[in-house]
């Protein structure tokens, strides 16, 4: 945004000198010049005709002349009605390239230690099933947003809240007691989270059978769902767990440990790490205390059935149960406790929750309870990064019915497809180890990019084959272009960092297009952080790659006879590769040097 800032500052000075008018920076709207017109930046002058009392064209002429005299990097200008198109000097673009290619931190903002951290909660799995496709989008979105915010100079604390207790956990535990025959990951050879997930599905199968039997005995569907014996047993198990029953707690610890080990493998394969992991079993008691304090202060109330609730009707919401009538906690109980604990531990400038849009109501309630009812001032800085669901061509996934796409299986399939496509392309200059490494880089990169190129707010349809296409808006297309640039630079046999500033009279339009896009990277990175939207970076990388491929096809680089122009284009290529690496790294995606 350097040029825009300078033009804005100079425009304010010019308007003061020309028309004795004081204008704010907000009234200066510097835009990128449209491709069909000549220029780099455009200033619409319509807001200033009242000041000049002249036509838009005359106003633009006066401002253009004044700016050209004031800013030595403006080479020329032209006027299209009320739009002042400014062209920068070729030398200023050449200097930009030379400095940019040598700046390893181009686009990044230096961190300041004085900043309070931003807490970003993502993943937040239940310990009753393995991570699935929906979790993949959550993890990749949380990781990318964390990286992007860090690149903008903020300290980030990545936190994970593991939902390791509650009725859903007891369902898997009870099914293991009933049907498990002492099975373990070691005895079955199954990954621990998948073994526990198997019992979650088994519980649901038995639950549905019992509901059907009760309905056949004359019960209503609603009563049957509440009175199914296996559900009553699970509810009793939860009560025993909260009372500290030793046998129940031992089973819980063993099964959760199986799941944690399984999760860790999945996180490693996705490249996901956390700075702090919270467990619901450690925060729900604090949540209970907060609820009881709110009851004592009469901001909550006790319902006739014994449950503790909050009335949010005046806020346009509804009643919310905070503790069940039997004294057991619900999701929001531990969320209250966890939020208060985090605020005490980190004093964050913001708490961002990366959670799907089906929980919009939940987080609206959470914030209103903490801020409006309990008067925690920091709670106004809670933000729910709500994202859309991932669907398959066959429809939505259901964990309890076992119809989910398992995250591990998905990654294995992506790597398999990548390896197959690499072989089909006849890439025979890789040994087995290199081929496996490349297939992993392409497969996992394809998965991440496909998830992140879509605006988080939108639902998305996942298609593995489409995600790994070498010719579409995909990671492999970007990876291939990066490898192509690396090959070009290897063939050139020069160190682009050591090349001098190039003395060329005119930068060709194709080269200028690439330079202009590279200039936009810092602004795109800032926008991605302010909107918490990694898709802006993903699509920036795609548009840059498309432009570079056109340039590569139409423009000689190694065959260029003008040495200065050849060196310029080598540096332009090196800078393009560097910016691609930066943008894709913020999405957690690696780019190969050979492909």
Assess whether 310 and 185 both reside in one domain.
yes
Query: Where in the sequence is the domain holding 529, given as residue range(s)?
Result: 407-585
Dist. CA 348–CA 121, nearest whole Å? 12
Q: Is residue 334 part of a domain?
A: yes
3 state SS of 202: helix
* 397 pLDDT higher than 50: no
Q: φ and ψ at 592, to 5 degrees? A: -80, 155
* 107 pLDDT higher than 90: yes
Q: Is residue 566 part of a domain?
A: yes
Q: Is residue 595 part of a domain?
A: no
3 state SS of 4: helix
* 340 pLDDT higher than 50: yes
Dist. CA 108–CA 522, nearest whole Å? 7
What is the tens place of the pLDDT at every residue in 406-440? 899 999 989 998 998 888 776 667 788 888 999 99
Contact yes or no for 305/325 (Cβ under 8 A): yes
Q: What pLDDT score was predicted for residue 394? A: 62
Q: Name, in order, each residue with C-beta under 8 angstroms of 426's C-beta and a sequence gap of 6 or more.
A: none
Q: φ and ψ at 17, to 5 degrees? A: -70, -40
Q: Name, in order, each residue with C-beta under 8 angstroms of 314's C-beta and a sequence gap of 6 or more.
A: none
* 496 pLDDT higher than 80: no
- Among 239, 323, 243, 336, smallest CA distance to 283 is for 336
Contact yes or no for 88/74 (Cβ under 8 A): yes
Q: Is residue 485 part of a domain?
A: yes
Q: How far is CA 127 from CA 199, 343, 565, 589, in A?
A: 12, 25, 60, 28
Q: What pLDDT score was predicted for residue 424? A: 79
Query: Span 71-100, mean pLDDT?
Result: 94
Torsion over CA: 88, 91, 94, 99 (sign): negative
Q: What pLDDT score was predicted for residue 427? A: 64
Assess whether 413 and 375 both reside in one domain.
no
In the sheet with 308-311, reading across from the earlier edge strand, the strands are 301-302, 308-311, 319-323
What is the tens place of the pLDDT at every residue in 203-249? 999 999 999 999 999 999 999 999 999 999 999 999 999 899 999 99
Q: What percent of the chain has pLDDT over 70?
A: 97
Q: Using the 8-state DSSP alphabet, how is residue 392 labeled?
A: B
Query: Span 52-57, mean pLDDT?
Result: 94
Assess whether 286 and 140 both reside in one domain.
yes
CATH code of the domain containing 465: 1.10.730.10
* 504 pLDDT higher than 90: no
Q: What pLDDT score was predicted for residue 539? A: 97
Q: What pLDDT score was predicted for residue 154? A: 94
- Which domain-ending residue is among 337, 359, 391? 391
Q: What pLDDT score was predicted for residue 49? A: 94
Residue by residue, DSSP assigns 160-179 as: EEEB--SHHHHHHHHHHHHH
Assess whether 543 and 505 both reside in one domain.
yes
Selected residue with higher pLDDT from 110 and 47: 47
Selected residue with higher pLDDT from 238 and 110: 238
Query: Span 67-74, mean pLDDT?
Result: 95
Assess whether 374 and 520 both reside in one domain.
no
* 497 pLDDT higher than 80: no
Dist. CA 124–CA 296, nearest whole Å? 31
Assess whether 332 and 470 both reside in one domain.
no
Assess whether 83 and 134 both reside in one domain.
no
Q: What pLDDT score was predicted for residue 402? A: 46
Assess whether 197 and 315 both reside in one domain.
yes
Looking at the chain, how many residues does it have?
Answer: 595
Q: Is residue 263 part of a domain?
A: yes
- pLDDT-derived band at 113 (thresholds 50, 70, 90) equals low
CATH code of the domain containing 38: 3.30.1360.70
Q: How far is CA 549 from CA 94, 220, 298, in A?
A: 21, 65, 66
Dist. CA 165–CA 31, nearest whole Å? 53
Q: How many CB atoms lie within 10 A of CB 359?
A: 16
Assess whether 467 and 527 both reside in one domain.
yes
* 112 pLDDT higher than 90: no
Contact yes or no for 522/454 (Cβ under 8 A): no
Q: What pLDDT score was predicted for residue 322? A: 96
Contact yes or no for 424/430 (Cβ under 8 A): no
Assess whether 429 and 486 both reside in one domain.
yes
Q: Is residue 176 part of a domain?
A: yes
Reported pTM? 0.91
- pLDDT-derived band at 194 (thresholds 50, 70, 90) equals very high
Range with the poorest average pLDDT among 131-140, 287-296, 427-436: 427-436
Angle at 375 between CA 372 and CA 379, to 5 degrees: 80
Sole residue written with tokens 């989270």: 193
Domain count, the chain: 3
Q: How far is CA 341 from CA 144, 346, 377, in A?
A: 25, 9, 14
Residue by residue, DSSP assigns 211-280 as: HHHHHHTT--HHHHHHH-HHHHHHHHHHHHHHHT-HHHHHHHHHHHHHHHHHHHHHHHHHT---SEEEEH
Assess whether 270 and 383 both reside in one domain.
yes
* 452 pLDDT higher than 50: yes
Report the chain's terminal Cα–Cα distance, integer Å: 34
* 398 pLDDT higher than 50: no
* 393 pLDDT higher than 60: yes
- Which domain-ending residue is among 366, 391, 416? 391
Selected residue with higher pLDDT from 528 and 470: 528
Selected residue with higher pLDDT from 431 and 496: 431
Average pLDDT, the chain: 92
Q: Is residue 590 part of a domain?
A: no
Which phi-psi region, left, alpha or beta, contains residue 128 (left: φ > 0; alpha: ψ -120 to 50)?
alpha
- Which domain-ending residue is among 333, 364, 391? 391
What is the tens place of the pLDDT at every residue in 456-487? 999 998 888 788 888 889 999 999 999 999 99
Dist. CA 447–CA 160, nearest whole Å? 22
Helices and strands (H and E) in the chain: how many: 22, 14
Query: Span 9-18, mean pLDDT?
Result: 95
CATH code of the domain containing 155: 3.40.50.620
What is the tens place of the pLDDT at every residue in 155-191? 999 999 999 998 999 999 999 999 998 899 999 999 9
Contact yes or no for 134/366 (Cβ under 8 A): no
Assess whether 524 and 573 both reside in one domain.
yes
* 400 pLDDT higher than 80: no
Q: Is residue 102 part of a domain?
A: no
């Amino acid at each position: 945004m350097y040029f825009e800032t300078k033009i804005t500052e100079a425009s304010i000075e010019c308007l003061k000198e020309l028309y004795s008018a004081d204008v704010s920076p907000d009234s200066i709207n510097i835009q990128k010049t449209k491709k069909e017109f000549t220029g780099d930046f455009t200033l619409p002058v319509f807001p200033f005709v009242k000041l000049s009392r002249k036509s838009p064209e005359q106003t633009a002429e006066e401002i253009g002349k004044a700016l050209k005299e004031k800013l030595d990097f403006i080479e020329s200008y032209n006027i299209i009605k009320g739009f002042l198109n400014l062209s920068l000097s070729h030398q200023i673009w050449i200097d930009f390239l030379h400095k940019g290619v040598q700046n390893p931190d181009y686009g990044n903002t230096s961190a300041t230690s004085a900043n309070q951290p931003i807490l970003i909660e993502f993943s937040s799995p239940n310990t009753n099933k393995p991570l699935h496709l929906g979790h993949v989008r959550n993890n990749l979105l949380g990781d990318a947003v964390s990286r992007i915010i860090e690149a903008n100079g903020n300290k980030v604390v990545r936190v994970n809240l593991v939902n390791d207790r509650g009725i859903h956990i007891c369902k898997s535990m009870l099914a293991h007691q009933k049907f498990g025959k002492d099975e373990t990951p070691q005895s079955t050879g199954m990954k621990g989270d998948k073994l526990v997930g198997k019992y979650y599905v088994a519980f649901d199968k038995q639950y549905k059978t019992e509901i059907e039997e009760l309905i056949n005995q004359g019960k209503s569907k609603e009563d049957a769902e509440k009175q199914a014996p296996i559900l009553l047993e699970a509810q009793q198990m939860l009560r025993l767990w909260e009372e500290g029953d030793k046998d129940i707690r031992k089973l819980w610890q063993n099964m959760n440990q199986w799941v944690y080990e399984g999760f860790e493998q999945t996180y490693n394969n996705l490249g996901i790490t956390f700075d702090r992991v919270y467990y619901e079993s450690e925060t729900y008691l604090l949540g209970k205390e907060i609820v009881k304090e709110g009851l004592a202060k009469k901001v909550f109330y006790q319902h006739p059935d014994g449950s503790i609730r909050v009335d949010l009707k005046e806020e346009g919401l509804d009643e919310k149960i905070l503790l069940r009538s039997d004294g057991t906690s619900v999701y929001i109980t531990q969320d209250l406790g966890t939020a208060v604990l985090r605020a005490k531990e980190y004093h964050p400038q913001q708490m961002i929750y990366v959670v799907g849009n089906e929980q919009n109501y939940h987080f609206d309630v959470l914030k209103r309870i903490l801020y409006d009812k309990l008067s925690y001032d920091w709670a106004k800085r809670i933000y729910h990064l709500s994202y859309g669901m991932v669907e398959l061509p066959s429809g939505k996934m259901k964990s309890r019915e076992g119809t989910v796409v398992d995250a591990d299986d998905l990654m294995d399939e992506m790597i398999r497809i990548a390896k197959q496509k690499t072989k089909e392309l006849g890439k025979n200059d890789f040994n087995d180890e290199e081929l496996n490494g490349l297939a992993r880089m392409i497969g996992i990169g394809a998965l991440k990019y496909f998830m992140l190129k879509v605006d988080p707010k939108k639902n998305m349809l996942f298609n593995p084959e489409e995600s790994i296409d070498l010719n579409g808006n995909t990671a492999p297309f970007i990876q291939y272009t990066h490898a192509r640039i690396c090959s070009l630079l290897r063939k050139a046999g020069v160190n682009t960092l050591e090349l001098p500033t190039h003395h060329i009279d005119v930068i060709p339009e194709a080269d200028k297009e690439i330079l202009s896009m590279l200039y936009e990277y810092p602004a795109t990175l800032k926008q991605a952080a302010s909107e918490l939207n990694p898709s802006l970076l993903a699509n920036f990388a795609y548009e840059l790659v498309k432009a570079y491929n056109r340039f590569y096809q139409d423009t000689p680089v190694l065959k260029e006879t003008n040495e200065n122009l050849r060196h310029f284009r080598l540096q332009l290529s090196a800078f393009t590769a560097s910016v691609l690496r930066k943008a894709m790294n913020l999405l957690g995606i690696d780019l190969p040097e050979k492909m």
